[in-house]
């Protein structure tokens, strides 16, 4: 029997389950339940994303009808942010995704409702990132990033709301925590649809949303999760016959919005999904001291070898050697040597003259 209890192999796991996945304890091993995450893989570490061409959009249906009074009271009696008896929690929101694009403007994420409540993340014309949160009659505006994020690199966005406290973070920037005043509504009532790429909702839409809704997202978005809903995972990893996802235009699966520094790296030796070839591992873990010693020894040996070759090749450069015998004579100024060629020539000349005379 398996239990969702953290003990034994779950507590002592070399690689824990990633991205808030649940660890399922087994007899001698553990598995990771990725059901409520936007990720895949043995450790729930593999990003699932999509590339959107111009004009493309995706719609995920959260609910087909508004919340009933019985459901509302059940949620009101237990408002804890882990309570999803409605299929959502109106006092808490957890939103995360990553994106990469060069084009602006775009509505990256839009969550509509059966009432006037909505939440939107907008990439403005100058590349900065805004969030608009409407709860009740008032629309809250938040600046998520003052930098230009339309640079083609992946950027990670995390938005968390617990009751009236909103915490936002982009990439590795410091989290920003803000409060919703008590005179304002603190519930997100009856969420209806999640839109990615463009907003194609029927009815009255905020002017700021309309102004940034064209031409839409041209780029990648991945790891999208709103509470327990993961639209892209539902599209590319469906676990039901008719998934509540509608797509218009060209939307293809891609992981280009992955953000490895946040999600963590899983080595292939421990990845049960790894199917590629194994490469020979070359040890490169020598310390700086031993690495310096090895390099210095190699340089010294090279210098000695080159110097030996130089001595061998150029030692006798400019010298002429002969095997003729030398006559060493003592002289007052020292010793000198003369070749025997001159003496032999003097002895040879008389013999030649006698031969001419005899002829």
Q: By C-alpha distance, which of 25, 15, 49, 38 is closest to 268?
A: 15
Of 207 and 5, the structure prediction assigns the larger pLDDT to 207
DSSP 152: S
Q: Is the pLDDT of residue 59 over 60?
A: yes
User: For residue 217, what are its two tokens?
Assistant: 């997202």
pLDDT in tens, 71-128: 655 555 555 544 444 455 667 889 999 999 999 999 999 999 888 889 999 999 999 9
Mean pLDDT for the stretch of residues 290-294: 85
Most confident of 104-113, 267-276, 285-294: 104-113
Mean pLDDT for the stretch of residues 208-224: 92
- Residues 196-229 as b/e (b if ≥16 CB within 10 A, e otherwise) read bbbbbbeeebbebbeebbeebbbbbbbbbbbbeb
d(C-alpha 19, C-alpha 36), whole Å: 10
Under 8 Å between Cβ of 178 and 169: no
Radius of gyration of the chain (CA): 42
DSSP assignment of 139-151 equals EEEEEEESS---S
Predicted local distance difference test score (pLDDT) of residue 261: 40
Under 8 Å between Cβ of 93 and 161: yes
- Residue 16 — very low, low, confident or very high, per pLDDT cuts 50/70/90? confident
Predicted local distance difference test score (pLDDT) of residue 148: 94
| The overall pTM is greater than 0.75 | no
């Amino acid at each position: 029997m398996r239990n969702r209890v953290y003990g034994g192999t779950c507590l002592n796991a070399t690689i824990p389950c990633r991205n808030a996945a649940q660890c399922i304890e087994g007899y001698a091993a553990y598995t990771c339940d990725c059901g409520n995450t936007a990720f895949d893989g043995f450790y729930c570490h593999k990003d699932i994303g999509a590339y959107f061409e111009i004009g493309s959009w995706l719609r995920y249906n959260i609910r087909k009808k508004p919340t009933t009074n019985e459901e509302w009271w059940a949620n009101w009696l237990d408002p804890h942010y882990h309570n999803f008896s409605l299929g959502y929690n109106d006092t808490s929101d957890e939103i995360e995704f990553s994106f990469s694009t060069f084009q602006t403007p775009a509505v990256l994420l839009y969550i509509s409702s059966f009432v006037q409540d909505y939440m939107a993340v907008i990439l403005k014309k100058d590349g900065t990132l805004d969030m608009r949160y409407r709860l009740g009659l008032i629309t809250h505006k938040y600046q998520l990033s003052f930098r230009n994020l339309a640079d083609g690199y992946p950027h990670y966005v995390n938005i968390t709301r617990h009751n009236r406290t909103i915490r936002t973070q982009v990439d590795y920037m410091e989290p920003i925590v803000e409060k919703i005043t008590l005179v304002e509504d603190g519930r997100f009532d009856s969420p209806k649809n999640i839109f990615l790429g463009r907003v194609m909702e029927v009815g009255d839409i905020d002017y700021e949303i309309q102004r940034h809704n064209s031409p839409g997202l041209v780029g990648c978005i991945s790891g999208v999760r709103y509470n327990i809903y993961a639209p892209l995972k539902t599209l590319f990893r469906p676990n039901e016959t008719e998934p509540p996802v509608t797509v218009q235009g060209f939307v293809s699966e891609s992981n280009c919005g992955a953000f490895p520094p946040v999600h963590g790296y899983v080595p292939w030796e421990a990845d049960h999904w790894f199917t590629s070839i194994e490469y020979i591992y070359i040890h490169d873990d020598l310390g700086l001291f031993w690495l310096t010693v090895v390099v210095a020894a190699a340089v010294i040996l090279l210098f000695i070898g080159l110097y030996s070759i130089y001595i061998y090749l150029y030692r006798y450069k400019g010298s002429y050697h002969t095997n003729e015998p030398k006559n060493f004579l003592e002289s007052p100024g020292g010793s000198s040597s003369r070749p025997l060629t001159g003496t032999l020539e003097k002895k040879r000349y008389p013999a030649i003259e006698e031969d001419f005379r005899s002829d």
